């Protein structure tokens, strides 16, 4: 994928915003509540699939290389064994799918954005929950079970994720128009 200078700046900006979303958090175990998913959703709707995927890949690579951008200021390759790393992998898939679906919509309404974002949010959990289960059971050696898995990795976040989804759906078409008007995005 060939990126223009403007595209590289946007990809970097959304990687940085995702990292900033990490530091706006409510500590919970084993997965913290953060605002990262807001920027994952925006990256998909505003940048499109490939650039949104790239922004989340840059974010993850920065953390794996040692920049303290993951939850609780963690970083390094050992973070791959963290219970929450699967959600980060889900960020890449989610951003890509949100972007690809958004590219196919002629007029991005709140309802269409909400549906697309719902699919993207489900994809984060589709990757994050099995990864959480595997790490807790096989790396940490604790038997979490299905009820424990849902209680730790899904239930505490559903209400907040719905609020974030509604917020992004309600504002994304406005931000998209503004970015096009200012020349940050092509029409």
pLDDT tens column, 104-123:
999 999 999 999 999 999 99
What is the C-alpha R_g of the chain? Answer: 16
- Residue 30, preceding bond cis, omega within 30 degrees? yes
Decide if domain 5-181 falls under CATH 1.10.1760.20: yes
Residue 187, pLDDT above cutoff 80: no
Tell the residue number behind the tokens 């500590």, with chain if given: 27
The pLDDT of residue 122:
98
Return the minimum-mean-pLDDT range out of 7-11, 19-23, 30-34, 129-133. Answer: 30-34
Quickly list H helices, 65-154.
85-103, 110-134, 145-153
Do 129 and 145 form a contact (C-beta atoms < 8 A)?
A: no
pLDDT > 90? residue 185: no
| Torsion of Cα atoms, 12 then 90 then 98 then 68, to 10° | -20
Is 90 exceeded by the pLDDT of residue 32?
A: no
Q: Report percent pLDDT > 90 for the chain.
A: 84
């Amino acid at each position: 994928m060939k990126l223009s200078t403007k595209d590289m700046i946007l990809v970097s900006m959304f990687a940085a915003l995702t990292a900033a979303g990490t530091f706006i958090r409510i500590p919970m175990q084993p997965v913290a509540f953060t605002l990262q998913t807001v920027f994952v959703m925006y990256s998909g709707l505003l940048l499109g699939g490939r650039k949104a995927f790239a922004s989340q890949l840059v974010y993850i690579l920065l953390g794996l290389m040692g920049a303290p951008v993951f939850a609780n200021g963690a970083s390094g390759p050992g973070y791959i064994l963290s219970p929450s790393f699967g959600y980060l992998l889900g960020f890449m898939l989610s951003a890509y799918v949100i972007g690809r679906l958004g590219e196919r919509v002629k007029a991005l309404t709140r309802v269409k954005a909400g549906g697309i974002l719902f699919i993207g949010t489900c994809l984060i959990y589709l990757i994050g929950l099995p990864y959480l289960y595997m790490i807790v059971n096989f790396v940490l050696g604790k038997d979490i079970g299905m009820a424990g898995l849902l209680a730790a990795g899904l239930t505490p976040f559903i209400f907040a994720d719905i609020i974030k989804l509604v917020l992004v759906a309600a504002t994304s078409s406005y931000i998209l128009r503004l970015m096009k008007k200012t020349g940050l995005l092509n029409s």
